[in-house]
Structure 1
Amino acid sequence: MEFLPTKLSGCSLIRMQPVGDSRGYFVRTFCAREFSEHGIEPHLAQASYSFNARRGTLRGLHFQAAPAMEDKLVRCIRGAIFDVMVDIRPGSPTFGDWVGYELSDSNHLQLHSVRGFAHGFQALTDDCIVAYHIAQFYEADKSAGIRWDDPDIGVEWPLEPTDQSPRDLQLPLLKDIDQERLMPY
């Protein structure tokens, strides 16, 4: 695996390196030793999938409130998504900044963030599946988020959203979130 830094400290783009032949390929998506060597906590508490039926579906921007924030590894195993991480760590020099990358079943990229990031994505294809590895356990009462179109963050989504949850449409702006719910830098 190749670990590529992003402009946000604590957020890495990881290029998986498939080995193939006439049958197809094999690719390692996770290695605790390699992750540790790159300063990434390799603990895994949960793994989940998200199925997205329609191109344009937008999920996020989600996070768990402190102290239950999550380290997260995200990849697209079918189709393609535009994956976004937003730095929400008060005191971070990049607080409120975001990065976004296309992750697909063919480009072999995955995105990792430490605690203190909000995450969201938009399906770029129909019938896409997103896989998550998360280092902390989900706590429903800590589930939180930021509006996808927060003007102070300014994420440049590639498509007009077609499907969003009612909950996501009601999320607050980052400036309206109690700072105690966020993890300091």
Structure 2
Amino acid sequence: MIFTETKLKGAFIIDVKRLEDERGFFGRAWCKREFEQHGLNANAVQANVSYNKVKGTIRGMHYQVAPFAETKTIRCTSGAIYDVIIDIRPDSPTYKQWIGVELTEDSFRMLYVPEGFAHGFITLKDHTSVHYVVTEFYTPGAEGGIRFDDPAFNIEWPIKPSVVSEKDLAHPGYREITLTK
């Protein structure tokens, strides 16, 4: 695997190192040892799938608070997404900064999201599926969210949203959230 740290401290883009031949390619998409060699949390406890019917579907911006904060490794398994993360760690040098990364079924690219980040995406194609590996069990009451269009961050979504859940629309602005439970 090829690990590239982003401008956000602790967040990585992970590309599959491909061993190619006439059949196609083979590559490793997960290796506990390689994650640990890069100082990343490799203690996966749960894998989740998100299927999205319509292009322009927004999911986010979600996070879990300590002591249930989680890291996520995200890959788009069909279709395409624009994946966005925001550093919401008050003591971080990249606090309140965000990045967006296009993940597609053809790229096999993944995004590693450390604890203390809000995460969300918009689908760029109909019938898009996203696979998450997370390091903490989902804990009701420990989840939080920030509006995807919060002016505190000015996220530049590449397309206009067409579907946003009532729950995601009800997320407060950043100034209104509490990062501990």
- Give the TM-score of the pair, scaled to structure 1: 0.94
Q: Tell whether 2:83 aligns with 1:64.
A: no
Counterpart contact for 1:74–1:110, Cα < 8 Å: yes
Superposed counterparts of 1:2-21, under 5 Å: 2-21=2-21
> Which residue of 2 is the match for residue 114 of structure 1?
114
> Which residue of 2 is the match for residue 74 of structure 1?
74
Unaligned runs of 5+ in 2: none
Q: Name the SS of the counterpart of 1:125 in structure 2.
A: coil
After superposition, the C-alpha distances for 1:47-93 in whole angstroms (9 at most, x for unaligned) are 01100111110100001122211111001011110001110111212
Unaligned runs of 5+ in 1: none
Cα distance in 2, alignment partners of residues 140 and 147 from structure 1: 19
TM-superposed CA distance for 1:175, in Å, is: 1.3
After superposition, the C-alpha distances for 1:19-51 in whole angstroms (9 at most, x for unaligned) are 333333333111011111111121110001100
Root-mean-square deviation (Å): 1.2
Aligned residues: 181
Q: Name the SS of the counterpart of 1:48 in structure 2.
A: strand
Counterpart contact for 1:79–1:127, Cα < 8 Å: yes
Counterpart contact for 1:58–1:122, Cα < 8 Å: yes
Cα distance in 2, alignment partners of residues 179 and 55 from structure 1: 31
Q: Name the SS of the counterpart of 2:13 in structure 1.
A: strand
Counterpart contact for 1:90–1:179, Cα < 8 Å: no
Superposed counterparts of 1:1-185, under 5 Å: 1-181=1-181
Q: Name the SS of the counterpart of 1:34 in structure 2.
A: helix
Cα distance in 2, alignment partners of residues 79 and 17 from structure 1: 21
Q: Name the SS of the counterpart of 1:50 in structure 2.
A: strand
